[in-house]
């Protein structure tokens, strides 16, 4: 995650959502205030871990979900942008196929505590 995203996080005390609201291997969408702006986040759960990125595709800046919180996952485990089909691996958020290949989603640091997902403090 880049320093500017990390330093701009305004971490509140309220959780983004409960871990149980995300299926294992699935996605959820949450709203958060980052740097004073309301942003949509993609949350991806893998067991007890959650990774998050801004819900902004590096191709044309569109949301990746086809409806709020409804993200596409390919058979080979890639997150697929609903707008034009860019595919992202889910460790780093790198685009591995499609119109923005070589670019990446912007990571947002989150942590899981007491079964809740929080923005990571600075
Ligand atoms: S905006 Fe995501 S592939 Fe075009």
Q: Is the CB of 60 under 6 A from ligand 1?
A: yes
**Closest Cα to atom 1, ligand 1: which residue?**
60
Q: Ligand 1, from 42, 54, 55, 59: best to mutate by most atoms within 8 Å of Cβ?
A: 59
Instruction: Write down the pLDDT at residue 121.
Output: 65
pTM over cut 0.85: yes
Q: Does domain 3-119 have CATH number 2.102.10.10?
A: yes
Complete edge-to-edge strand list for the sheet that includes strand 37-46? 27-34, 37-46, 49-54, 107-108
Distant-in-sequence, close-in-space partners of 93: CB < 8 Å, separation ≥ 6: 51, 53, 79, 104, 105, 106, 107
The domain ranges of the chain are: 3-119
Q: Is the CB of 84 under 6 A from ligand 1?
A: yes
| Chain segment 16-66, per-residue pLDDT in tens | 999 999 999 999 999 999 989 999 999 999 999 999 999 999 999 999 999
Q: What is the pLDDT of the chain when averaged over all its residues?
A: 91
């Amino acid at each position: 995650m880049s320093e500017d995203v990390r330093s701009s996080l305004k971490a509140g005390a309220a959780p983004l959502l409960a871990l149980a609201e995300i299926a294992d291997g699935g996605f959820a969408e949450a709203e958060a205030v980052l740097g004073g702006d309301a942003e949509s986040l993609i949350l991806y759960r893998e067991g007890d871990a959650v990774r998050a990125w801004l819900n902004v595709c590096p191709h044309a800046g569109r949301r990746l979900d086809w409806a709020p919180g409804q993200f596409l996952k390919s058979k080979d485990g890639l997150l697929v942008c609903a707008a034009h089909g860019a595919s992202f691996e889910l460790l780093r958020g790198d685009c591995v196929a499609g119109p923005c290949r070589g670019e990446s989603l912007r990571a947002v640091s989150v942590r899981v505590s007491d079964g809740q997902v929080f923005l990571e403090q600075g």
